[in-house]
Amino acid sequence: MHSERTQQAGAVGELDPGFRPLLAALAAARAQGTGESFSLAWEREDGCVARHDLPLPPDADRNEDYFRLVERVVKFLLWSAGGWRLRLAGPENICRRLAADYRPGGRRAFDADLMQRVYGHPMTVERRAPQDMPAAKDAALALGGHLEGCRLGFDLGASDYKICATREGEVVFSAELPWTPRDYTDPEQHYQKLNAGLKQAAAKLPRVDAIGGSTAGVVVANRIMVASLFRAVPAEKYAAAQDLFLRLQKEWQVPVEVANDGDVTALAGALSLGVTAILGVAMGSSEAAGYLDRRGRLTGRLTELAFAPVDLNPAAPADEWSGDAGVGALYFSQQAVNKLAQLAGLVFPDAQPLPERLKEIQARMAHGDDVARRIYATLGTYLGHAVPWYREFYDFDHVLILGRVTSGPGGELLLDRARQVLRAECPALAEQVNVFMPDEKARRVGQSVAAASLPELKGSC
């Protein structure tokens, strides 16, 4: 890979010429490598470890570009896998700076605080000798693929939620229902809205045997530890919001299983294609992602790629929640469409929500509008560079993309451009990795159907 080609492919004819793919920086570091490595590892629950080894150039401790790369990899690995203890084997100066970033008040205080809420441990950073670094270890969770019986499935988004009813694997009802969870200050609003949709779907079945769900955020044992859906809920009511799905199980008296929407995206792809080693990326209100390993199992990784870096441009826009720049939420979501539309000179009413702005861009695309075409081409350029970057951290053969942003002809253009960039930049990898979209219906409601397959049960209708 050549960084010059990367810069050209990412800039020509696009709306974001400042975009700097991270893989180009990694390729430069490899070209300068001494043969030694800078090792880093995040530990999470049950001794699981995500590890990455970077090439070590001769001037590493004085090279600001190299520090920026290391810092981005540390953060990417954190949000791709999760963790509360960071172990480092590398130059003392870089290790000290990284430790300062993740202390209270440091540049990555948001990340440290959120991970403490997820794992219940304060974040720590330790420098180790290379021989004392832990090996990588993931969990192996066998969830999903259960099609028997009468099931309800749901997929919770930021502007709507999808509901389906299935019987012996066949969809008998599906719907997209509006809701505005970011405005709900009382968890009861979330519960009543979701439960009403479930009852609507249940009316199409002779009985309900199980309920499966897909949701943004970090889910542990059917509890949402952290989620943007609950950003309006005050601290004193947050525990009730976290127990939303446990309450559903108590009321319905059937098995309930809920997973992160990214993992359900990957599961949807695996079910539709009958494949494994798949990374799913849902481009909706934010970026959701999930991963199934070569044995078709979830790994326990967070895969919250909305917060994972993809752009080294120092002038890249910052995510409104984390405050960090160049992360996935601004490249693979409705937020990305809005960003690019504004770069193209489009002006929207301040009160117009992002889903409505997306609809306007999609309508323009359907009528052959050049600005809309450039927006989707730029999204495809982002994705074409992201696929080989993501593969540095995940072992996959398939990348499934879906979500509201991919609907319509814009999604087809996005996919075509991503494949073009991948072939130009990494021709060998382009032969190995299948980047694809399901059909239109599956793109919009497929996650709720896959979610319905999460619980295991006995018997059938």
CATH number of the domain encompassing residue 158? 3.30.420.40
- For residue 167, tell me if it sits in a domain: yes
CA torsion, ordered 309, 311, 315, 321, to nearest 10 deg: -30
Residue at a domain's end among 132, 162, 187: 132
Q: How many beta carbons lie within 10 A of that of residue 277, not counting itself?
A: 18
Structure token pair of residue 282: 């849902």
Do 276 and 257 share a structural domain? no
With tokens 């009528």, the residue in question is: 367
Contact of 233 with 185, CB cutoff 8 Å: yes
Do 154 and 117 share a structural domain? no
Point out the residues of the chain with pLDDT beneath 50: 1-13, 444-445, 460
Residue 257: burial class (beta carbons within 10 Å; 0-12, 13-18, 19+):
buried
pLDDT for 13 equals: 42
- For residue 335, tell me if it sits in a domain: yes
pLDDT for 278-337, tens place per residue? 999 989 888 989 999 999 888 989 999 999 999 999 999 999 989 999 999 999 999 999
- The SS3 of residue 223 is strand
Do 392 and 305 share a structural domain? yes
Residue at a domain's end among 76, 102, 132: 132
pLDDT for 245 equals: 95
- For residue 21, tell me if it sits in a domain: no
Do 89 and 179 share a structural domain? no
Q: What is the pTM of this model?
A: 0.86
Contact of 152 with 198, CB cutoff 8 Å: yes
pLDDT for 329-342, tens place per residue? 999 999 999 999 99
Do 349 and 297 share a structural domain? yes
- For residue 7, tell me if it sits in a domain: no
Do 293 and 237 share a structural domain? no
Q: Specify the pairing of strand 85-89 against strand 37-43.
A: antiparallel
Do 425 and 299 share a structural domain? yes
Residue closest to 183 by CA, chosen among 193, 169, 175: 193
Do 359 and 283 share a structural domain? yes
Angle separating helix axes 354-366 and 409-425, nearest 10 degrees: 80
- For residue 139, tell me if it sits in a domain: no
pLDDT for 12 equals: 40
Residue closest to 249 by CA, chosen among 279, 277, 287, 210: 210
Q: How many beta carbons lie within 10 A of that of residue 200, not counting itself?
A: 15
| DSSP secondary structure, 125-172, as one string | EEE--GGGPPPPB---B-------SEEEEEEE-SSEEEEEEEETTEEE
Do 282 and 258 share a structural domain? no
- For residue 141, tell me if it sits in a domain: no
With tokens 């959120």, the residue in question is: 114
| Number of domains, the chain | 3
- For residue 460, tell me if it sits in a domain: no
Structural domain including 415 reads 272-447
CA distance 18 to 11: 7
pLDDT for 445 equals: 46
Q: How many CA atoms lie within 13 A of 13 on its CB side?
A: 11
Residue closest to 274 by CA, chosen among 454, 145, 110, 98: 145
Residue at a domain's end among 77, 99, 132: 132
Do 337 and 251 share a structural domain? no
- For residue 203, tell me if it sits in a domain: yes
Do 71 and 128 share a structural domain? yes
Do 360 and 412 share a structural domain? yes
pLDDT for 440 equals: 57
pLDDT for 145 equals: 86
